[in-house]
Structure 1
């Protein structure tokens, strides 16, 4: 297939794109370039790139494409909280604009990077399935709910959207995000010998390795249309739900010599949910997740050491998404709408 991947220069894109190429698909990337030079280790293989904002995609840019993998977004709660109206514009309205453009151009498959964040404050002690009620507690989570609803409205005999509700991602990508909980805890353990909890750690979160997310996108793209048409799937492993405090303790265990600490001002996180990922493994058997949290922590630590991650990398906008946006704004390179004023 010829696949348009939005956000191919982001954290997920740095792993999804090579996976699609290795499977023999042709990839065209679309990215505004906010994080294009944020690379740790060897850069992913280059692909033909449309340099533009996902808010501006036209049907002409989708011509000749068989499938869209839509990853581009304001990718976490801190970014989403910065400007809720902008989050709605980028994550929700632009998603539906892109889907409509793709449908108009004759694209038949659309795979959307949704999130388990839409469950928000799920029922304690219950692994939520895809039929669970949505309880988003942040603008980011709300944007995923609205996007999914809009995509279902576009589904018909000629256009098949599938929503992958990714668990909280972790693991090494050459386009690293240091603001993800497992990546953050492991990085501090490697660099400073400290595992700093930034909340009280007594909430549940499902976790999934970025390589398994990439495997899910590939498996859904290649699955029979009638199986995945207008379907949503939780992506991860049902066994990989963790209390955040237990995650921190496992990091300290895997990396001897590091110690667990509670960051000053740590409070309670309202996001608290577990999920079941049984449906995707039952309906899309080509998706076989490979990673456990313990193995992922070891992979991260080895990669951080090999590629020389530094304390400055953790404190600046090199791999912290919100810090990067603030840096670009202070430099006058992007405006309040996160559009380029001038490119460096």
Structure 2
């Protein structure tokens, strides 16, 4: 297939694009390039995996012409974590909601039959210990989560015989990728364990999180593309493994077990993250049988620890290079982006 992948130079995109190419697909990327300094390890050749024909276009500016001629749009681009999403909530809604809907409409107008939307389990917000399936009501408690809820609803209304959207609600991602994210729970816990010897436990340690390796997220897109669209037309799926829901306290202990010498440090300060959700991934197993996630969190922790140690990672570099909020604040401070996250000068 001819595929347009937005956000192809991001955390998931940098893993997904090589898989798509290996599967024989023809890929064009669309990305602003904001996070091109987030390569891991920080060497130029780490970006080569995502070197495909690239449209340097903000997703807010996508038109019909950008979508013409493709068999599917894989929409990954977003302001993707809560600290970044909270930086300027109106921009979060513009990018994650309004721009996503405009992109879907442009794709439909251009005759693109498949639209794969990167959504999130974070839209469930502060849940309970009960299992959540795709029919449960949303309870987002951040601009990021709410923007994804709104986008799903509007894009779903565009579905018809010629346009099939699907909503892939990722569990919380972790794992090594060519374009690393340090703000993700497991990635962050392991980085602190390796660089400081401490694993910070704060907030509600009994909160649940569903977790999935970034490579398994990427495989979910290939699985959907290899499945007839009648099977998933206008449906939503939790992308993960039902047996990979973990309490945060258990994750902290797991990291300590896997990183020699690491100890738990307790943080009694204020903690505003009230999210807790335990999701069932049975539906994607039934309806998209080509999707078979293979990673466990324990394996991912070992992978991350080994990668960080091999690069002799330092905490200051980790936070400066791999925390998305730090990167955006630097681009605003140096005049590259304005407060609407629009180019104020030519991008580096």
Q: TM-score range by the shorter chain?
A: over 0.9
Q: In terms of mean alpha carbon deviation, does 263-272 or 164-173 score higher?
A: 263-272
Task: Kindly state the Cα deviation for residue 75 of structure 1 after the two structures are TM-superposed.
Answer: 0.3
- 5 Å-filtered alignment, 1:1-344, equals 1-41=1-41, 42-43=46-47, 44-122=49-127, 124-263=128-267, 265-267=269-271, 269-316=273-320, 318-342=321-345, 343-344=347-348
Task: Kindly state the Cα deviation for residue 64 of structure 1 after the two structures are TM-superposed.
Answer: 1.1
Query: Could you tell me whether the CA contact under 8 Å between 1:200 and 1:266 is conserved in 2?
Result: no
Q: In terms of mean alpha carbon deviation, does 256-265 or 20-29 score higher?
A: 256-265
Flag as ranges the 4+ runs of structure 1 deviating above 3 A. none
1:16 to 1:168, Cα distance in 2 relative to 1, 3 A: same
Name the SS for the 1:173 alignment partner. Answer: coil
Give TM-score, length-normalised by structure 2: 0.96
Gap runs ≥5 in structure 1:
none
Q: In terms of mean alpha carbon deviation, does 259-268 or 59-68 score higher?
A: 259-268
Q: Distance in 2 between matches of 1:68 and 1:36?
A: 22
Q: Distance in 2 between matches of 1:307 and 1:220?
A: 35
Give TM-score, length-normalised by structure 1: 0.97
1:83 to 1:45, Cα distance in 2 relative to 1, 3 A: closer
Query: C-alpha root-mean-square deviation of aligned residues, in Å?
Result: 1.2
Task: Kindly state the Cα deviation for residue 62 of structure 1 after the two structures are TM-superposed.
Answer: 0.9
Query: Could you tell me whether the CA contact under 8 Å between 1:185 and 1:197 is conserved in 2?
Result: no
Gap runs ≥5 in structure 2:
none
Q: In terms of mean alpha carbon deviation, does 278-287 or 74-83 score higher?
A: 74-83
Query: Could you tell me whether the CA contact under 8 Å between 1:200 and 1:268 is conserved in 2?
Result: no
Q: Distance in 2 between matches of 1:211 and 1:74?
A: 20
